[in-house]
């Protein structure tokens, strides 16, 4: 498929979409699946909201009031005791890989253990879906499975006199969904990593897979636990593993700094989660989901007691989400997480790390209702969630526009996408948020793994200005086509799975009767346009134009020649690759290291997965339900999915078609802008940037965007510098006040005393004896004196 064909395809696609009269003739094989959805992809998605329409009508005190809450009580069932193996399988891999890392055993075994155990977990997740799914969807009752006693304390008979947090599983819709995509994606990413990390076979191969296995184990603990303490255990576990993996190249100072940054930023969020759990226990006397939700459902808005200690819970939870899901003030760790090996980035961005925050928000959705914290606080809490998500989406997108490192662009795109998800939960559609998590997981894993394949093949080159025309480099065609798909999905091209899910969020926001929420929706629409621009800015620069390869020079540099000998499936760069980089490389023979079988396989599977992620929405109309929505409906997040008014209007017109036209126009505008500046006329794009940099009033735009709006520098100024000054002050105090005055005074006093009494020490034994005898004499004299004066009588 040539470059021109791709462009033609994309333009045709866009043109059809704009007209909103797409027909089955729009053709390309890639899009046949999409064609299934013709007509009303986004519209079907909102079906099943009938329940909420009722709520919306009777809601009087703002959109946080979703009417009476009802959670079906969980049913314990020990038939599912085998679920523990889902956790234990990766744990076995943790132990084996850990032992191999400890004893420095070399070889490919760690990858085998990891992929095999992840595969087992995947199989069990799927088995669980088929065994328990129908029951859940019929009875709406979550499943609890006891596993192991952990914390179980009782100090009295009363309601607040026991504390139970055992290792047990709580399976409802969202935990099942998370288990499914976490295990599937983790398996694929581990398979990819088994090839990607091969250059480290002699070094950290076992250590890498040890951390990856622990990462997935922690994530599974997080989503499967039946109480908040278990969730916290997993929460800390993924934080630790992200630290280990981001700092994997520990000899590079940047990597260790990035690892520390990620860990510390996450700790700030973890503090929020810990405090929230404490407050939940003091208010409800339990940390187990089931009894917690029953307690909340049992209370009414008028009877909310507890004041600030209840009202603080949703805000502390939001702080935790901000840390883990890189939101709002705490997002700066995620771009730096690029220091880890690329499969780790894919793992963090798609499956095991950042989605934990969204899970927490969805799981704890009952705390954002009037029943839990009263009407005013509930509304404030929800609006805060919405605004944080909205601003993060917007800020992340604007920063992504200014980056030249394609991995960083994708990192900021994750921040932006997570912003959408948080916004979705904030504006009241848990379904939209969770669906976007699901679709995003696929295409973001795909994007990172394609980026990793490029970086891997180009000796670590991450600057897309130094690469180009990769679509024509043999061996990279599949990668670039997969990246195109990922970029289309990231840009929420109409009818893509991502658009199906994102539109639900925007639709809910724009049709809200709360003015602020509508603003969030409009900012979200604008962000979609920016997203289309930066996504294709990367792809056009990388894939199109003249072939240009300037290899990087980092840890993969050794890939040049020797490693290739053993790989039969490695296609080397052909003639045009040489032609392209000849000048830059001084004639040296750099061979782009084309992806091998395992990487290609994983990319293909992920591309298929990304396309199929839209199926629940495409099939919603014919099936009568949306597959993802059914998961959310049967979870604690569901009442948050309320409030999307089925027959709402946008700008006085029918909501669905209006949103479709607006969103499509914005996305196409962003796409065309990227096409003009980065494909058709790159000189124009470069000139535009240069002239902006030369104009005093506009300089801040490209500079600010490139430097992440100087957030890092700002944090350094308000936290780093004062902390450094404080440290200097303390060091000064230590050196001169404590050491100089206090310690010296205490230390010199005995010396002074000694000098006073030293003359008594003559060295003559008799003088000492005389002193003693004199002392005894004095005592005897005193006794006699007391006796004589009648004291002793």
Partner 1 sequence: MITLASMGSVAPLTPAMPANIQVTLALAIILFAIGLVGFLTRRNMILMFLSTELMFQAAALAFVAFGRMWMDLSGQLMVIFILTVAAAEAALALGLVVLLYRRKETLSSEAWAELKE
Angle (deg, nearest 10), helices 477-490 and 3-19 = 20
Q: Please state, in angstroms and rounded to a whole number, the distance separating the CA atoms of residues 215 and 407.
A: 21
Please say which residue, 4 or 760, places its beta carbon nearer to partner 1: 760
- Provide φ and ψ at 405, rounded to 5°: -90, 115
Please say which residue, 764 or 793, places its beta carbon nearer to partner 1: 764
Inter-residue contact 311 to 193 (CB < 8 Å): no
CB of 762 to partner 1, least distance (A): 7
CB of 761 to partner 1, least distance (A): 5
Please say which residue, 54 or 770, places its beta carbon nearer to partner 1: 770
| Sign of the dihedral through C-alpha 254, 255, 259, 265 | positive
Q: Interaction with partner 1 in 247-306: which residues (CB under 8 A)?
A: none
Read off the DSSP letter of residue 462: -
Please say which residue, 154 or 767, places its beta carbon nearer to partner 1: 767
Please say which residue, 697 or 759, places its beta carbon nearer to partner 1: 759
CB of 763 to partner 1, least distance (A): 3
CB of 752 to partner 1, least distance (A): 19
CB of 719 to partner 1, least distance (A): 57
- Provide φ and ψ at 648, rounded to 5°: -70, 170
CB of 149 to partner 1, least distance (A): 58
Q: Interaction with partner 1 in 424-463: which residues (CB under 8 A)?
A: none
**In the chain, what is the straight-line distance between the N-terminal and C-terminal CA atoms, in Å?**
122
Place of tokens 């130094």: 466
Residues 6+ apart with CB under 8 A from 380: none
Please say which residue, 740 or 777, places its beta carbon nearer to partner 1: 777
Tokens at residue 125, please?
């997740």
CB of 767 to partner 1, least distance (A): 9
Please say which residue, 152 or 762, places its beta carbon nearer to partner 1: 762
Consecutive H or E run containing 548: strand 548-549
CB of 785 to partner 1, least distance (A): 19
Place of tokens 């599974």: 220
Nearest to 365 by CA among 118, 637, 98: 637
Q: Please state, in angstroms and rounded to a whole number, the distance separating the CA atoms of residues 363 and 172.
A: 10
CB of 790 to partner 1, least distance (A): 22
Q: Indicate the burial class of 383 (C-beta count within 10 angstroms; 0-12, 13-18, 19 or more).
A: buried
Please say which residue, 744 or 783, places its beta carbon nearer to partner 1: 783
Residues 6+ apart with CB under 8 A from 190: 111, 114, 115, 118, 209, 212, 343
Q: Please state, in angstroms and rounded to a whole number, the distance separating the CA atoms of residues 373 and 533.
A: 41
Q: Please state, in angstroms and rounded to a whole number, the distance separating the CA atoms of residues 167 and 755.
A: 67
Tally of CB atoms within 10 A around 673:
17
Q: Indicate the burial class of 669 (C-beta count within 10 angstroms; 0-12, 13-18, 19 or more).
A: middle
CB of 747 to partner 1, least distance (A): 21
Q: Interaction with partner 1 in 701-720: which residues (CB under 8 A)?
A: none
Residues pairing with 463 in the sheet: 405
Q: Interaction with partner 1 in 28-87: which residues (CB under 8 A)?
A: none
CB of 748 to partner 1, least distance (A): 21
User: With contacts defined by CB under 8 A, how many residues of the chain interact with partner 1?
Assistant: 9
Tokens at residue 740, please?
């100089």
Please say which residue, 61 or 767, places its beta carbon nearer to partner 1: 767
Q: How far is CA 6 from CA 220, 465, 471, 508, in A?
A: 40, 21, 10, 34
Q: Interaction with partner 1 in 726-785: which residues (CB under 8 A)?
A: 761-766, 769-770, 773
Please say which residue, 82 or 768, places its beta carbon nearer to partner 1: 768
Read off the DSSP letter of residue 761: -
Please say which residue, 202 or 755, places its beta carbon nearer to partner 1: 755
Written in H, E and C, the secondary structure of 220-287 is HHHHHECEHHHHHHHHHHHHHHHHHHHCCCCCCHHHHHHHHHHHHHHHHHHHHHHHHHHHHHHHHCCC
| Sign of the dihedral through C-alpha 689, 692, 694, 699 | negative
CB of 756 to partner 1, least distance (A): 16
CB of 777 to partner 1, least distance (A): 10
CB of 771 to partner 1, least distance (A): 11
CB of 772 to partner 1, least distance (A): 9
SS3 171: strand
- Provide φ and ψ at 584, rounded to 5°: -70, -25
Write out the E strands in 473-620.
548-549
Please say which residue, 251 or 764, places its beta carbon nearer to partner 1: 764
Q: Please state, in angstroms and rounded to a whole number, the distance separating the CA atoms of residues 233 and 275.
A: 14
Please say which residue, 587 or 763, places its beta carbon nearer to partner 1: 763
Q: Interaction with partner 1 in 589-608: which residues (CB under 8 A)?
A: none
Please say which residue, 78 or 758, places its beta carbon nearer to partner 1: 758
Tokens at residue 581, please?
């980089």
Read off the DSSP letter of residue 593: B
CB of 770 to partner 1, least distance (A): 6
Please say which residue, 75 or 770, places its beta carbon nearer to partner 1: 770
Residues 6+ apart with CB under 8 A from 72: 139, 140, 141, 142
Tokens at residue 748, please?
């010199």
Please say which residue, 57 or 773, places its beta carbon nearer to partner 1: 773
Judged by the rule CB under 8 A, the positions of this chain that interact with partner 1 are 761-766, 769-770, 773
């Amino acid at each position: 498929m040539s470059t021109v064909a791709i462009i033609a395809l994309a333009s045709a696609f866009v043109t059809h979409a704009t007209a909103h009269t797409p027909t089955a003739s729009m053709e390309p094989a890639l899009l046949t699946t999409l064609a299934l959805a013709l007509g009303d992809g986004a519209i079907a998605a909102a079906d099943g909201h009938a329940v909420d329409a009722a709520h919306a009508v009777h809601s009087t005190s703002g959109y946080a009031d979703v009417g009476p809450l009802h959670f079906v009580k969980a049913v314990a069932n020990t038939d599912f005791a085998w679920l523990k193996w889902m956790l234990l399988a990766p744990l076995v891999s943790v132990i084996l890989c850990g032992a191999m890392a400890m004893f420095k055993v070399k070889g490919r075994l760690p990858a085998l253990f990891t992929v095999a155990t992840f595969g087992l977990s995947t199989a069990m997740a799927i088995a669980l879906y088929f065994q328990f799914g129908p029951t859940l969807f019929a009875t709406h009752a979550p499943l609890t499975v006891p596993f192991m006693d952990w914390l179980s304390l009782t100090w009295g008979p009363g309601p607040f006199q026991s504390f139970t947090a055992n290792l047990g599983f709580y399976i409802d819709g969202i935990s099942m969904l998370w288990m499914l995509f976490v295990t599937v994606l983790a398996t694929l990413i581990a398979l990819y990593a088994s090839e990607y990390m091969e250059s480290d076979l002699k070094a950290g191969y076992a250590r890498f897979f040890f951390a990856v296995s622990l990462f997935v184990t922690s994530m599974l603990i997080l989503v499967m636990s039946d109480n908040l303490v278990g969730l916290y255990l997993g929460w800390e576990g993924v934080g630790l593993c992200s630290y280990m993996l981001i700092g994997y190249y520990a000899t590079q100072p940047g990597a260790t700094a990035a690892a520390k940054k990620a860990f510390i930023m996450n700790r700030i969020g973890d503090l929020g989660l810990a405090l929230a759990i404490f407050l939940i226990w003091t208010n409800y006397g339990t940390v187990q989901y089931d009894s917690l939700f029953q307690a909340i459902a049992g209370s009414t808005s008028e009877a909310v007691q507890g004041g600030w200690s209840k009202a603080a819970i949703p805000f502390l939870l939001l702080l935790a989400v901000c840390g883990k899901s890189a939101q709002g003030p705490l997002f700066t760790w995620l771009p730096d997480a690029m220091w880890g090996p690329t499969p780790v980035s894919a793992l963090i961005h798609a499956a095991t790390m950042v989605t934990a925050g969204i899970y927490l928000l969805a799981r704890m959705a009952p705390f954002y209702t009037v029943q839990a914290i009263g009407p005013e606080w509930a509304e404030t809490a929800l609006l805060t969630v919405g605004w944080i998500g909205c601003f993060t989406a917007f800020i992340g997108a604007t920063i992504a526009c200014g980056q030249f490192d394609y991995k960083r662009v994708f990192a900021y795109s994750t921040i932006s996408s997570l912003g959408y998800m948080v916004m979705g939960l904030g504006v009241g559609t848990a379904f939209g948020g969770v669906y976007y998590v699901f679709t995003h997981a696929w295409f973001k894993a795909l994007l990172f793994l394609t980026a990793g394949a490029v970086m891997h093949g180009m000796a670590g080159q991450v600057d897309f200005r130094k690469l180009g025309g990769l679509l024509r480099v043999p061996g990279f065609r599949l990668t670039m086509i997969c990246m195109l798909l990922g970029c289309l999905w990231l840009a929420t091209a109409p009818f893509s799975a991502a658009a199906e899910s994102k539109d639900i969020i925007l639709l809910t926001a724009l049709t809200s009767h709360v003015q602020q929420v509508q603003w969030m929706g409009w900012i979200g629409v604008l962000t979609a346009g920016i997203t289309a621009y930066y996504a294709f800015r990367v792809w056009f620069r990388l894939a199109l134009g003249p072939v240009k390869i300037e290899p990087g020079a980092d840890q993969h540099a050794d890939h040049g020649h020797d490693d290739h000998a053993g790989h039969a499936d490695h296609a080397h760069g052909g003639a045009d690759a040489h032609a392209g980089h000849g000048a830059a490389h001084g004639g040296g023979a750099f061979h782009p290291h084309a992806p091998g079988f395992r990487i290609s396989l994983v990319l293909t599977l992920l591309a298929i997965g990304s396309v199929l992620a839209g199926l629940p929405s495409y099939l919603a109309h014919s099936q009568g339900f949306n597959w993802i929505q059914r998961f959310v409906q049967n979870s604690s997040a569901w009442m948050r999915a309320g409030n999307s008014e089925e027959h709402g209007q946008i700008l006085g017109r029918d909501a669905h078609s209006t949103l479709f036209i607006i969103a499509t126009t914005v996305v196409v505008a962003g796409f065309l802008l990227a096409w003009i500046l980065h494909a058709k006329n790159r000189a124009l794009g470069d000139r535009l940037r240069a002239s902006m940099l030369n104009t005093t009033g506009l300089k801040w735009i490209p500079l600010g965007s490139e430097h992440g709006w100087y957030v890092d520098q700002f944090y350094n100024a308000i936290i780093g510098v004062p902390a450094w000054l404080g440290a200097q002050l303390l060091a000064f105090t230590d050196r001169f006040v404590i050491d100089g005055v206090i310690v010296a005074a205490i230390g010199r006093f005995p010396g002074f005393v000694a000098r006073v009494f030293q003359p008594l020490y003559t060295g003559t034994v008799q003088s000492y004896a005389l002193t003693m005898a004199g002392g005894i004499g004095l005592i005897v004299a005193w006794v006699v004196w007391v006796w004589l004066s009648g004291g002793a009588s």
